[in-house]
Structure 1
Amino acid sequence: MNDVTGVALSGMRAAQQSVQVAAHNVANLATPDAPRLQLQRDAAAQGGVDTRVTSHGDTDPTAPLGDLLAAKAEVVAFAANAALIRREDQMLGSLLDRQA
C-alpha cells in the first residue's frame, strides 16, 4: 500500500469511528449513567490520522445537535477519502495502460 492510500484509509477509519461515537452518544441520551464519548485525533508519524475514544462528562444540552452535525460532516469526509482512493486507482491504471 502506498502513502496516499494509507493516509486516505486512516481518514476513512477516523470518520467511521467518529460516526460510531456520535451514534453512541445520541442512542444513550436517555441513559443517565452512560458516558459521553469523544474521538481524539492525532497526526500519525507515517502520515494519516491516529484516533482514540475518550469518555467525557459533558452535560451540555446542545451536545446531541453537535453529535448529529459531526456525524454528517464525517460522512462527507469519508466520501472525500474514498474519492481520493478511486482517483489514485484510476491514475495507476492509466499509467499501467501507457506502459503496456
Structure 2
Amino acid sequence: MSIASAGLRAATLGVQAAASNVARLPVAEATRTGVAQTAVAGGGVDASLVEAAADPAAPVSDLLAAKEAVLAFAANATLIRRSDQMLGALLDERA
C-alpha cells in the first residue's frame, strides 16, 4: 500500500507540473517544470519538481505527460482499492 501511495503522490505531482506548463505557454520567459522520481529503498518513489529544459513540442509533450500521470494515478488507486478489498475479504473469512 505504501508503494501505491507513493505512486499516487508522484502522479499527482506530474499532473500539476504538466498543467502548470500548459498554463504558462503564453508567457515568453516562463520556465518549464518536470518531475524527478527516485526509487526509495524498500519500494516506492520519491518525486520532486525540477526545472525542465525548453521543448519546442511542449504543448504536445505536456499533454502526453499529463495523460501518463493520470493513468499512473488510476493504476495505483486501483491497486489500493483491490488491496483493501482483499484485506476485507480476509477479515470476513476469519470472523
TM-score, normalised to structure 1, is 0.90
Of 52, 57, 74, the residue aligned with 2:69 is 74
**Shift of residue 90, structure 1, vs aligned partner:** 0.7
Structure 2 residue ranges without an equivalent (≥5): none
In structure 1, the partner of 2:47 is 51
Structure 1 residue ranges without an equivalent (≥5): none
Question: Which is further off, 49-58 or 84-93?
Answer: 49-58
Identity across the alignment (%): 54
Q: After the TM superposition, which segments of 4 or more aligned residues of structure 1 sit over 4 Å from their partners?
A: none
Count how many residue pairs are aligned between Structure 1 and Structure 2: 95
Whole-angstrom CA distance in 2 between matches of 1:81 and 1:57: 28
Whole-angstrom CA distance in 1 between matches of 2:88 and 2:52: 46
Whole-angstrom CA distance in 2 between matches of 1:85 and 1:33: 41
Whole-angstrom CA distance in 2 between matches of 1:20 and 1:82: 17
TM-score, normalised to structure 2, is 0.94
Of 42, 60, 82, the residue aligned with 1:65 is 60
Alpha-carbon RMSD? 1.0
In structure 2, the partner of 1:93 is 88
